[in-house]
Chains A and B, each alone.
Chain A
Amino acid sequence: MNEALWALGRGTGVVALALFTMSVLLGILTRSGRPLFGLPRFALTLVHRNVALLATAFLAVHLVTLLGDSYAQLRLVDFVVPFLGAYKPFWLGLGTVAVDLLIAVVLTSPERASVGVRVFRAVHWLTYLIWPVALLHGIGNGTDAGAGWFIAFAVVCAVAVLSALLWRLTGGFAPLGSVRADLTQGDQNRTDPKRTDPNRVERNR
């Protein structure tokens, strides 16, 4: 039984990381304001939310199944207060930090209307901290961290999130960004999107 719970705890941890990675990617895509694969923007927002909730559910199973583990020796306090663990307290603590911050994100998200966009966004930015901390927890604490498949999985996740983040920081991130930048420059000739949008210029020729 203990063996089965241990396997479930490991598996759900890996699945949670995969789903959180997807959620971060979808969140960045949502912010870019672009549709994808024929899915409209509002649908992407909902997929982002649902993938994040699914990841959270897997994370809950990850915590509960490892509670009784004879190796990890988790106590309930380790779910909330970091770095008190009996086994690898630092790496376990990183997982606890991620859980604490994630609770804040999960609680503020459905309350966006009441807490306001600023608070929602400030708390949501924590995910950029949560994700790498969770990855490090997996690498440092995971039973399978040395396995080839896990290393490959971690590398794929890291490359995906880093690429998305780099894209997020580039000028071409938002599709209408350049049109609006021209607008704020106050140059009358360039404020007309019919002239700034290359597709339109081509059609006019």
Chain B
Amino acid sequence: MTAPRSLLHIDWTACDGRGLCTEILPELLARDDWGYPLARTRGAGSDVPVQERLLDAASEAVALCPRQALRLVLGT
């Protein structure tokens, strides 16, 4: 399996844990007890690896984030 190269960056200073991204990307993000997104990939922190097939959903999450706390960094 090749490592996914695109990353979903979470800006924690902007994030308010509204939960839209965790609904759109349940495979990538869980929700912690305070509502904030939590990467399911261990050690991913603020940069969550996004598989190719989830790129559209990730763009949707970026567009719909009420706090504009998400950015998609496409791998080359």
Interface, chain A (partner B; CB < 8 A): 30-31, 33, 40-42, 45-46, 112-113, 116-117, 175-176, 179-180, 183, 193-194, 197
Contacts and interface: CB of A to CB of B under 8 A. Distances in A.
Interface of B: 14, 17-20, 23-24, 33-35, 60-61, 63-64, 66-68
Nearest to A34: B19
B24 A33 contact: no
A40 B33 CA distance: 18
Nearest to A41: B20
21 contacts: A33-B18, A33-B35, A42-B20, A42-B23, A42-B24, A42-B60, A42-B61, A42-B64, A45-B20, A45-B64, A112-B68, A113-B63, A113-B68, A117-B14, A117-B66, A117-B67, A117-B68, A176-B35, A179-B33, A180-B34, A193-B33
B35 A40 contact: no
A179 B68 contact: no
Contacts of B60: 42
Nearest to A197: B33
A174 to B, nearest CB: 9
B25 to A, nearest CB: 10
A112 B34 CA distance: 26
A41 B23 contact: yes
Contacts of B63: 113
B20 to A, nearest CB: 4
Contacts of A176: 17, 34-35
Contacts of A31: 66
Most buried by B among A42, A180, A183: A42
Nearest to B62: A113
B30 to A, nearest CB: 14
A200 B29 CA distance: 22
